[in-house]
Amino acid sequence: MNILIVGDNSKLTNRQVEIVALNMANNLWKETPDINLEINFESQDDVKGFDGCCWYDADDKWPYKIWVRSSRKIDTQLSTLAHELVHVWQMHRGDINPMTTMIYNIKKYKHWQHEADDSYWDNPMEIEAFGRTPGLVARLYNTNPELKD
């Protein structure tokens, strides 16, 4: 996995983010995937409703993209990164079409604000991501306890 880290993060170094992403990816894929992943950190406290998101841009050298709100505590950033990596895993394994899923979610969930209705929580994509996140973070802390807040 090739990782490009963009943006500012005063709580985690780029090397720590790379270790975290590789650790979590290896727990999901069981073998390091041959993908290009861009992880973008921005504070954007004016954006309400979520701490991160992911998407796919087929026209970019780094097609898999994750955005994480860097103003959050380390444990929130790590949980968000884990959750979004599950979605990247879902896209990579072909279980979801990244383009149609993003358009569907924007329409159904009012541009990611998750306030439309309870169906967000019933979405199988989200059930899997929320279900896998605690285990990914726990495994990370077992091997890298210095990352705990």
Q: For 56-70, write each residue's pLDDT tens digit.
A: 998 999 999 999 999
pTM for this predicted structure: 0.86
Calculate mean pLDDT across residues 102-108. 50
The mean pLDDT value for 104-129 works out to 65
Q: Which of 49, 80, 48 is nearest to 67 (CA)?
A: 80
Domain boundaries, the chain: 2-139
CATH of domain 2-139: 3.40.390
Min mean pLDDT across 7-11, 63-67, 120-124, 142-146 is at 120-124
- If DSSP states are collapsed to H, E and C, what string results for the chain? CEEEEEECCCCCCHHHHHHHHHHHHHHHHCCCCCCEEEEEEECCCCCCCCCEEEEECCCCCCCEEEEEECCCCHHHHHHHHHHHHHHHHHHHCCCCCHHHHHHHHHHHCCCCCCCCCCHHHHCHHHHHHHHHHHHHHHHHHHHCHHHCC
pLDDT tens figures, 6-51: 999 999 999 999 999 999 999 999 888 899 999 999 987 666 667 9
